[in-house]
Structures are given as structure tokens and as C-alpha cells.
Structure 1
């Protein structure tokens, strides 16, 4: 499946191996991403639980020692507990909640449960997070402590976990616990593990997929070569997994059978051509004994029409299996030469000089195709105009006429064998309806195409355009 977005479509790999590797890579990254999120969440939950337990221990310790020691009052409404050595624990008369605080109910339930299990009688528990800057005294103390211990390089907390409980006796016990920053080493380790897993997994899959796709790619190239040459020479040796080997063996057998059928067809058509041309040659001799000149001319024309049709049929049969190689050909000179041939016969054929275009061609076959197109234009349109241009990597030859055109519904059908726009089969409009079919087959033989289109004008259809496209490479 290819993405619809143009940018993604350009990035999407075209090969089977590329798509499989991309799919596996995305699956691995997605799975590792989910694992990272779960690991991070578990780490946060463990850290929160540790902080709640720390706060609970300090509250319980302060509560027990406060029963034995006198509390020194430091400021109105607040008394410092002597038992607090790490951080300050305060007793407040009013609730410690401030505007904007967001209570963490799960943490509050956990804190209340721990304190209750330790025998404390509480009526309410409050747990909130606040920025460290909201407590300048505590922030300054942590900074001085870090400076004294030489811990400037260690990550410093930026938030406080504030836990407070309201005792039945009245008043609140308040404790502040710094929240350490997340340890980047954990995520760095996880990223390293992900990259290692990604490299190992994708590397192993690449080896396995490569063992499958290499013979498939070779088989594709072999199919393309067979489509172009239709010969069974150079068949592949079976390789790869058993399924791929069986596929290659089956393809080789099918390819050999097709080549054998094509050989049989060529032999049969050659025999037919030889067997038909021999009696036709004898007929040419015998008609000379016909005294009526008009009848003799009609007979000769009929024989010539049969010979031309037979030549077209044999050419169409051979065009798919050409024996002559392609040669670099200057196309403008070739088209000009064909136009001159018709002009020398007095036909209204014109060709506008064009740029120099060199294309690898089988010249004899292309001459045949162009002659068929020009003859068709002269037969139905009384004139032919030929143009040659270079467009999008193709040499484009257009043959236009001034005839009545072809109904749009019949344009494709006219390229099929034995299809003619004129139902007559005499020597004037003659032929068996193979001219356009042969021209299309020759174009496809060169990797190109032939298209027909009506030429429109203000008054409607005013002719036909036959477009022959040949790849430049």
C-alpha cells in the first residue's frame, strides 16, 4: 500500500525488501516507544511512592519525638520541631493549601494509609507539588549544601512535594521533600538498548528478506528480458528458499513452452507464406494469357492486394521476435527521407525540418511503420503532414491528415487487426486492416506507443492525428 500524500509517496520504498524493512523498523520503534513510555511511567510512580514514604517517615518521627520534647516557638502561628534535622517540619494552625495548588488524591490516600498503619490518628491528608522557588529559605539551604559538598554538577531538584496531615488534637504537621529530577542515564541506556535491538533485528531480517528478494528481482529482470526478446536463452538457475526455487522452475518451464510455441508459429507462418506465394507467382504468369486488358489489370491488382496482405500478416507475426539489432539512427533524416519518397510519387506529403534526434532503432521496421501511417493518412485524408518533436524523454512523430476522422468510440478498435474504417477491400483503399496494427506493434517493439486522436476545429472534426512515441534512451 502506497501513501496518498505526495511527500510520503516519494519517501516510500518501491522494492519489496525496502517495504518489509521499513515496516519492521516502524514496528520496532513503535514497540520500543510504548516500552519507553511504560518504563518512564513506572519510574515516576516509584519515585512518587518513595517520596510519600519519606514524607510519612518524617511525619511519624516528628510526631513521636514531639511528644517527648518541648517545641521551641520561632514565629507566631508556627513552631519548629527539634527532631527535624534534614528539612524543616512545621506545625501550622491553618491549612497549608495555597491558591492554585492541585491536590494529588491517590498520593493523599497512600499517605493517610501509611500513617494510620503507624498508629497516628489523622483527620485529613494533603499532598501537592510546588516549585522550589516558592520556598526561598529551603532553596537557599539546598544551594549552600550543594556548594559545601561540591555537587555543582549534579542535577538539582526544581519542585517540592508538600505533605501535611491534620491531627485530631488540632493543627497540621507539614513536611517538604525535594523532588529530584529524572535520571537521564536511564533513558540514555534505554535508547542505547533500542538502537542495538534495532540494528540486530533489522540486520537479521535484511539478510532473510534479501535471500528472498534477490531471486525475485532476478526473476523480474528475466521476465522483462523475455518480454523483449521472447527467447528462452539464459534461463535462471533455481535459488533461494524452496518456494522461490519452485517458482523459478515453473517459470523456466512456462518460458520454454512459450518459446517453443512461438517457434512453431514462425515455422508455420513461413510455410504458409511460401506455399501461398508460389501459386500467386504462377497466377501472375497465367494472367498474361488473358486477352481482355481490363480483366487482366483487375486480376493483377487482386493478386498484388493478396500479396500485400500476406506480407502484412507475416510481418505482424515476426515483429514480436526481431532478429536485427537496434542501431543509432538520426530520426529527422529518416522521416525526411520517407516524406521525400511520397513527394517523388506526387503525393501531398510535407515534413517540417526539426532538431537532430538520435534514437536506437531497427530502421527497416520503423520505415515500415511510418509508411503505413502516411499511406493511411493519404488514403482517408488526401494529404499528410509530419512533425517530429522531443517531449519528456520521447521522440514524438505526428502524422496529421484532413480526412473525416474516426468516431471517438472506434479509435482504439481501429488499432486491432483486420479493422478498417472503409468496408471496401479494393486496390484503391485496399489492405486487410493491418497497417495501423503493424505500426503499433513496431512502436511497442521499440518500447514506445501509437495513439490515434481526432483533430478538432471550429467546425468539428477536421482530421486524424496518429502519434508515434519512441523512447530516447
Structure 2
């Protein structure tokens, strides 16, 4: 809409440039002399200046005769009158011949200025049609500018009406990135925008149904596995004592995997409980709770990090990472800070780190590093998968990196909530 207004005004200016200009004004010297003598401010603009703004005869040799004639008409000597003519008009003066005959009359054509010496300086006179918006071209230009200013508010209103549905559509897409289970807002507007919004809502519903079906299937499989595992646990009692201890560990490990799978399925199916919260304070709270159990974990939040999230899920994410770091890497220190529209939490340990090739694979479900397979440390291979799932459900992510000098860093990024 704004571009349309600009193009329309440009076309008007082109048409104005193609029109022939008004003929230059011709002023007889006698009429000019009378206007100066009578101080006719309707025809001339008068201004007193201390010194002459131009010297006599600056309009050219031919103007000296006009200056002498004008000086005689107003009762001055030629040295007390100076004439300046515009170079744009070619510094023209001419002679007018009355229709009834008689002597020719000298006249000035185009723009000019006349300076007359007085006791306290010079009197400068120029036609009023030399003002800023006196000529036809300048008047048209002023009208074009005024019409453009008058149209801008109307064009702005229509542009906003066209842009609002698109902005709401973009907000819905961003909200889907932050919370895949959020209810898509209704978007109205032009037919094309409504069709795109409907397609977007259908896509979101299909994605939610797909994730829900897969999660429910995973939970159902894990739930059904509990019955044969329970039977295996009872049958172990009839085995020799030498085999019983080893098989008990295998059954316990399988039960832990089933519990983790059921926990993941319940988390994906639980209702959304998003609210505005300070992620820095939540990080310190998670660290304090773990420290009360004897774990060597500290946390520091340097900024207020307001996000839209589920407090329980985010605390679960932080607790899982801190526990892993303390279990496999000794002391853990967490730091929450603000970075480029994101809430960033760095969780550092002092362990041996992870091979570069394994930094992404450890997020795969049921994938475990070789050193985590002992029954003393436990681990089902779902902890980091759950952590990344929670982070991405909030529009963020979790990445691992080896620190210089030793140790592993888990970096959590969550988008900051828009300011209210």
C-alpha cells in the first residue's frame, strides 16, 4: 500500500515535468518604478539590507540602460540602482510596443531583484511570485506532498489490516516451536491467509496425533513388559544361588528401563502447565535441593531469565543434567546467564569428558557409553533423550561439549519470554 502511494505520486511528478511551464512574467519598468515609489507590498517584497547584495550592471551590459531608465523614473542616479536578473531566464529584458502606437516601453522578463540606495543602506525589492510556492510547479509539488501526507495514514491502516493476520500467523508458528502441544490460535484475514492458517492448524494437529500415538504405543509396550518381568523375578527364587544374583541384576536393569520408558510416556501425555518463571532461580533451586542430599553441586544465576515453561519439566531437565554430571564427573557448577534472546544454563563437571564422536549419540534413546553399563552407576540410556525432548518442547536445545582443561559442559538454551 505504501509503495502504491509512492508510485502514484511519482507518476504525478512525471506528468508535471512533461507539462509546459508557465511563461515567464514580463514586468514593465514603469510599473516597477511605480511599485517601488508607492511601496506596493502586494506586488513586491521589500527588505532593508546594510550593503548592496550585488553590484550595479551585474545583469550584463544591456541592463545598464534599464537601470538608468529605472533610476530616472524613481528620481535617483544610475549608481544608486542595481538590477540582478536570474540566469535561468537568460537575463532578458525587452521592449513592449503598445497596440495604439507610441514609444516602446522597456520591460524585464523572468525573475529579478532591484536594489535602491537609501540613507541607512539599501532597499531590496523582488516580485512576490518568487516566493517558495508562488510558481505553478512549486504549487503542484506542495499539493503532491500534502496529498501524500493525507494518504499515508489511510495506507498505513490498510497495510496494518493486511499485516496483522500475517503477524498472528508468525506468532502461531513461533508458539508451536516453543510448545508443540499449544492450542493454535484462530487467524482471520484474506482468503489466502485463512487457508494457510487452516493448513497450519491441520499440520499441528497431525503432528500432535503422530507424537501421541507413538508415545502411547511405547508406554503400552513398556507397561506390558512389566508382567513378564514380574514373573521372571518370582522364578529367579527357584534357581541356584550362583545364578540368582547375576539374573537379579539383569531383571532390575530391565525394570529400570521400563520405569524410565513409562515416565517418558507419562510426561508426553500429561497436560501442559506453561507459565512465566525465572529460569535462573529454578536452576539455583534445583542445585540447592540436590546439595541437601549430599551431592557436590553449586549454581549461580547472574541475570533474571524469564521464560514460558513447565516448572516441573524444566526442573526435571536441570536435575537430570546435574545428577549425571556429579555421578560421572565429580563436582558440578551451574551458571545461568542471558545471551542473544536466550536463557543459557551451563552445567560443568570435572570428569574425563566424552569422545567427540559420542557427543551427539548419547542423546539417542537407550544409547549408553561403555563406562555407564555397570550396575553400580546404573543408567537406562533415556536420561539425556528425555532432557533434550524437554528442551526442544520449550523451543530450545541441549548440547554437550568437552571443556578445555578437562571436564564436560552441558549447555541448555531456552528462548526468553516476550516482554509484556
Specify the TM-score bucket, using the shorter chain as the normaliser: 0.5 to 0.7
**How far did residue 340 of structure 1 move?**
3.1
Q: Equivalents in 2 of 1:137, 1:409: separation in Å?
A: 98
**How far did residue 143 of structure 1 move?**
7.9
Q: Deviations over 1:353-387 (max 9, x none)?
A: 66696856534323432333234334543x13222
For the pair 1:405 / 2:353, whether they are aligned, the reply is: yes
Q: Is the 8 A contact 1:132 1:139 kept in 2?
A: no
Q: Equivalents in 2 of 1:422, 1:136: separation in Å?
A: 108
Distance 1:43 1:385, change over 3 A: same
Q: Equivalents in 1 of 2:358, 2:231: separation in Å?
A: 40
Structure 2's unaligned 5+ residue stretches are 33-56, 77-83, 95-105, 113-129
Query: RCO (CA 8 Å, sep 6+): is it higher in 1 or 2?
Result: 2
Q: Equivalents in 2 of 1:428, 1:231: separation in Å?
A: 38
**How far did residue 232 of structure 1 move?**
7.4
**How far did residue 256 of structure 1 move?**
3.2
Q: Is the 8 A contact 1:319 1:441 kept in 2?
A: no
For the pair 1:334 / 2:286, whether they are aligned, the reply is: yes
Q: Equivalents in 1 of 2:337, 2:168: separation in Å?
A: 33
**How far did residue 208 of structure 1 move?**
4.7
Match of 1:465 in 2: 409
Q: Is the 8 A contact 1:309 1:432 kept in 2?
A: yes
Q: 1:286 aligns with which of 235, 240, 249?
A: 235
For the pair 1:223 / 2:173, whether they are aligned, the reply is: yes
Question: The residue matched to 2:352 in structure 1 has which SS?
Answer: coil
Q: 1:435 aligns with which of 356, 362, 383?
A: 383
Structure 1's unaligned 5+ residue stretches are 1-19, 59-83, 88-129, 149-155, 165-174, 344-348
Q: 1:161 aligns with which of 83, 91, 97?
A: 91
Q: 1:43 aligns with which of 18, 21, 24?
A: 21
Matches within 5 A, 1:194-233: 194-199=144-149, 202=152, 205-206=155-156, 208-231=158-181, 233=183
Q: Deviations over 1:379-408 (max 9, x none)?
A: 543x13222333346554332223333344
Question: The residue matched to 1:391 in structure 2 has which SS?
Answer: strand
Match of 1:108 in 2: none
Match of 2:258 in 1: 310
Q: 1:254 aligns with which of 199, 203, 219?
A: 203
Q: Equivalents in 1 of 2:292, 2:263: separation in Å?
A: 24
Question: The residue matched to 2:347 in structure 1 has which SS?
Answer: strand
Q: Equivalents in 2 of 1:25, 1:447: separation in Å?
A: 40
Match of 1:115 in 2: none
Q: Equivalents in 1 of 2:74, 2:287: separation in Å?
A: 91
Per the normalisation by structure 1, the TM-score is: 0.58
Distance 1:389 1:243, change over 3 A: closer
Q: Is the 8 A contact 2:180 2:393 kept in 1?
A: no
For the pair 1:298 / 2:228, whether they are aligned, the reply is: no
**How far did residue 25 of structure 1 move?**
5.4
Distance 1:289 1:35, change over 3 A: farther
For the pair 1:179 / 2:157, whether they are aligned, the reply is: no
**Range moving further from structure 2, 208-217 or 275-284:** 208-217
**How far did residue 177 of structure 1 move?**
4.6
Matches within 5 A, 1:1-40: 21=2, 23-24=3-4, 27=7, 31=11, 38=17
Q: Give the total of aligned pairs.
A: 348
Question: The residue matched to 2:381 in structure 1 has which SS?
Answer: coil
Q: Is the 8 A contact 1:212 1:244 kept in 2?
A: no
Q: 2:334 aligns with which of 370, 383, 387?
A: 387
Q: Deviations over 1:115-166 (max 9, x none)?
A: xxxxxxxxxxxxxxx9438756645755887999xxxxxxx844562589xx
Q: Equivalents in 1 of 2:197, 2:65: separation in Å?
A: 81
Q: Superposition RMSD on alpha carbons, in Å?
A: 4.5
Match of 1:95 in 2: none
Q: Is the 8 A contact 1:230 1:321 kept in 2?
A: no
Question: The residue matched to 1:399 in structure 2 has which SS?
Answer: strand
Q: Deviations over 1:178-214 (max 9, x none)?
A: 4316563334422333235425655565455444333
Q: Deviations over 1:23-74 (max 9, x none)?
A: 44554565566556x36x9538x54xx98xx9xxx9xxxxxxxxxxxxxxxx
For the pair 1:264 / 2:213, whether they are aligned, the reply is: yes
